[in-house]
Amino acid sequence: MRQEEKRNRVEEAIRSFYEEKTVAPHLVDSVLYSIQAGGKRLRPLLLLELLEAFGQDLTDAHFQVAGALEMVHTGSLIHDDLPAMDDDDYRRGQLTNHKKFGEDLAILAGDALFLDPFGMIATSQLPDTVKVALILELSDASGSRGMVAGQVLDMEGEHKQLTLEELQTIHANKTGRLLAYPFIAAGSILELEADIRQLLKQLGQKLGLAFQVRDDILDLVADFEALGKTPQKDLVAEKSTYPALLGLEASKALLERELDACGDLLDQLVAICAFHPQAIKKLIEGLRIHG
């Protein structure tokens, strides 16, 4: 299945969830405004490509799990953009949710996108043990032990000189946990052996670090058209970033090393099981910065 079709099926799964039972139409409008704003859909694509790499035919349930992950991610973006957080006017090339619908509805849209994913997974046609594992891991990756905790640490680190270890702790939670989720979720859905799951988890963690280093670099060097949001926000907020701590060139070198390590882990998976990583490799290679 082509990636564009996968993206469309993920969006369809989310839209169907909200259209099935609409209680507050304006809330749904606000939610779908941010969902349908585009984006690369990296997280859901990673999950779907992983399932196919192991030879799994994709079903509606898989798109629901992928959609649930995208919902949490989009909800986090809505809240990140609020005046009390990063205070941004644009996201994915259009007005942020609170600029379009007001702060009150944006907050509630983010709340919905944090809570609804668990219901969508719970109603999917997967074994109950698999659903419990997926819900538990998504909760752990998203809440006070993962993404939300990372956001708090990130805010507390503004205007401070953090160590590299402190910075890695922030981003392992704020960004890394949701990027590692597709790899852990694939292991649960396919009920893979423990050694394969461990390699997948390591791969997800490496990719999460690489993605954040890349994001820090792009915030410094890319323009609005490339980012779809205001550039150099980290610089203005005096946040500790990889370029700030290591320098730009050293950060680029770190990105390359982490992406190379991801490739090595993919090769290890190929060596021990029936795994066809071509599509995953293409997604990972797409994260390299040229020039």
Tens digit of each residue's pLDDT (9 = 90 or more) over 29-67: 999 999 999 888 999 999 999 999 999 999 999 999 999
In a domain, 291, yes or no: no
Confidence band for 227, pLDDT divided at 50, 70 and 90: low
Residue 256 has pLDDT above 80, yes or no: yes
Q: What is the mean pLDDT of residues 108-131?
A: 98
Count: domains in the chain: 1
Q: How far apart are CA 200 and CA 178, in angstroms?
A: 14
pLDDT tens string 124-142: 999 999 999 999 999 999 9
Q: Tokens at residue 132, please?
A: 């419990």
In a domain, 222, yes or no: yes
**The predicted structure's pLDDT at residue 79:** 97
Residue 147 has pLDDT above 90, yes or no: yes
Q: What's the CATH number where 68 sits? A: 1.10.600.10
Q: Tokens at residue 14, please?
A: 């989310």
In a domain, 290, yes or no: no
In a domain, 112, yes or no: yes
Which has the closest alpha carbon to 123: 63, 52, 179?
Answer: 63
pLDDT tens string 201-213: 999 999 999 999 9
Domain housing 258: 3-285
Taken in order 233, 238, 239, 243, is the CA torsion positive or negative?
Answer: positive
In a domain, 261, yes or no: yes
Distances (CA, A) of 270 to 103, 266, 273, 278: 48, 6, 6, 11
Contact partners, residue 44, CB within 8 Å, separation at least 6 = 6, 7, 10, 66, 67, 69, 70, 182
